[in-house]
Chains A and B, each alone.
Chain A
Amino acid sequence: MLEFDDIQHILLTRAPALTGRYEFLSFREAAAGRAWLSAIKEKVHSVAAMRDNVEGDMRWVTVAFTWNGLRALGLDEASLATFPEEFRQGMVARAETLGDTGANAPEHWYGGVASPDLHAIAILFARDATEHARCVSEHEKLVAACPGVELLSVLDVEAIPPFDYAHDHFGYRDRLSQPVIEDSGEDPTPGSGAPLKAGEFILGYPDEYGVIADRPQPEMLARNGSYMAYRRLQEHVGKFRDFLRQHGNTAEEQELIAAKLMGRWRSGAPLVLSPDKDDPVLGADMQRNNDFNYKEMDPHGYAVPLGSHARRMNPRDTAANMNRRRMIRRGATYGPYLPDGAPDDGADRGIAAFVICGSLIRQFEFAQNVWANDKNFHELENERDPIIGNHDGTMEFKIPSRPIRKKIVGLPAFTTVRGGAYFFLPGLKALSYLASLNREDGVNASVG
């Protein structure tokens, strides 16, 4: 059984929040970091706590640490050495493998997150703006009460209109294809496949091979923990809309181009099920909007181009070992909404998301390295993911069509990576363990 009272809520649940804030922290002194953690861990919801009062609670907090952060808290070298190499190195050191080069390179990232001084993140999801402001003020007081804890930067996130469904600044409906973990209490939607073994996402449980993978030590630190890749992607909405206008003469043609890039209409309706025109009712119907495959229903990509975003990030029955590549996504949009028809105001807007998985190298890094950025994925020769791939204006996007495919050359970059980091997301008991490290050094771990 999954230990719902120890697993941080973000792993298995989605907070009903319209707003939030990510706070990036640095610990100048270990004792100060532990004091901060001792206080904030009391605010972190487990899955069980969240489910107990999801209608009543106003805010949900998540806490996670970089490898440098674990060291800064005082974790000993023997334990630090048991973490996987990619996590020890951190996202910045893995930039080339991830495609974070050129405009996406860590030297251009915002808010000090590329610095080795980034030690922790506190994620706030709040039900409304009033609660958001109250929590920000409370956390400000906590940080002030822990001299030696420094706030590197913050990022406010907020849903954008229309508010009746989740979507990004480009207008694509989100949260349509999420893996479900066995025994989590959730049922997969039709077409989503069987629930996955918990070990794919949570440390200490059997994975899809029936094996409990090696994990960091001591056991109490790893138990119910996970890894979390943070990605801040700026979305160039003006450039995206210009592109649609350039390649579509009518509103319908523009919608079709947008759909081909994604693999779904912006309403969420899958192109496999509705290849020629949008079907918003289908897009919103969770019982139908994920119920398709590629190998039998669209082998040549006449509906969904082989290089489209959705077909790359979840190739379904056209990839080997799919169950070992799945990822849980959480996150939100940031920056101001750009209404349809409004000229781009140059504001920074995009998505700030977390990819949660049991193995960063096997799941997240594979998706970035191969699915998003392998130019020869599906023998496409000179393409990358049209939405999140690394683009320098020299790539193509091919749209299979009878009798002759359409080839768009010189695809622009619609997104730019503006931040990223690897975090370890401990269970609640592990948070207590970390908060009480080295108590013999005289620090009162309950300060704050």
Chain B
Amino acid sequence: MSSEVKLQDWSKPAAIAIPKGGFDPATAQKGRYGPIFPKTPACYGFSIVAKVIPGREDAFYEHAKNIENTIATQPDALAVLKLHYLRWLLFPIKGETYFMYQGIFDTDFDKYTEDAVALFGATGLKTVFENLEGFPKNWQTNPEAFIKFVRDHQCPSFLEYGEYPYVSADEIKKALKLKAAFSDMLDQMQ
């Protein structure tokens, strides 16, 4: 809402506690694939946690190198996700390895779900996901099954904080460009 937009003051750090389940069922907006996880001072995001099929850990390290190379040669490869940051982790629980995919971005995942899935395909992430337990074998002919897997494995936060809350990556980039342009202007005036 417009009033919400105005209340989202970037100059004042903000924190919100998030109810169990990741949203308030009474007020959550309905997206195409289910309730929308709300925007927080740390923007939108999700954290997928899933168990790695034993012995498949190396596939994740190999894929990280692939992504590094992809971004080096094609910096806008992930632009469609409107990301701020991605963090991928592997961690052990009782001798078994789990994978966490944590992303912070500027659109709610529901809206651009299919674009994200397409991108996962283009960057080979789907094939990495095949190393996770429970990943649908028919994801190629049934994209909804892929989306369901992501939603089923989403672990919502219960607290999020932003030092410069609600600001989009585009706004940050615009501000930095403006700063650079002003610096340049001042240089020209010496």
Contact = CB atoms under 8 A, between A and B. Distances in A.
A398 to B, nearest CB: 13
Contacts of B111: 366, 369-370, 374
B7 to A, nearest CB: 13
A212 interface: yes
A321 B114 contact: yes
A321 B2 CA distance: 29
B29 interface: yes
Nearest to B107: A376
B174 to A, nearest CB: 10
Interface in B123-148: 138, 140-144
Contact of B32 (A214, A321, A369): A369
Given A365-B32, A394-B2, A370 B140 contact: no
A215 B143 CA distance: 12
A96 B29 contact: yes
Nearest to B3: A394
B144 A379 contact: no
A211 interface: yes
A97 interface: yes
A361 B144 contact: yes
B43 to A, nearest CB: 12
A257 interface: no
Interface string B91-135: 000000000000000010001101100110100000000000000
Nearest to B111: A370
Interface in B28-77: 29-33
B171 to A, nearest CB: 8
B5 A366 contact: no
B32 A211 contact: no
B115 A213 contact: no
Nearest to B119: A320
A312 to B, nearest CB: 13
B170 interface: yes
B80 interface: yes
A140 B29 CA distance: 44
A324 B142 contact: no
A381 interface: yes
A433 to B, nearest CB: 23
Contact of B141 (A214, A365, A369): A214
Contacts of A209: 121, 140
Contacts of A394: 2
Interface in A343-379: 361-362, 365-366, 369-370, 374-376, 379
15 contacts: A84-B144, A86-B32, A211-B141, A320-B115, A361-B32, A361-B144, A362-B114, A365-B32, A366-B32, A369-B31, A370-B111, A375-B1, A381-B2, A382-B2, A394-B2
Interface of B: 1-2, 5, 29-33, 80, 107, 111-112, 114-115, 118-119, 121, 138, 140-144, 168, 170
Given A362-B114, A369-B111, 16 more contacts: A94-B32, A96-B29, A96-B30, A97-B31, A209-B121, A213-B142, A320-B119, A361-B32, A365-B32, A366-B111, A366-B114, A370-B111, A379-B168, A379-B170, A381-B2, A381-B5
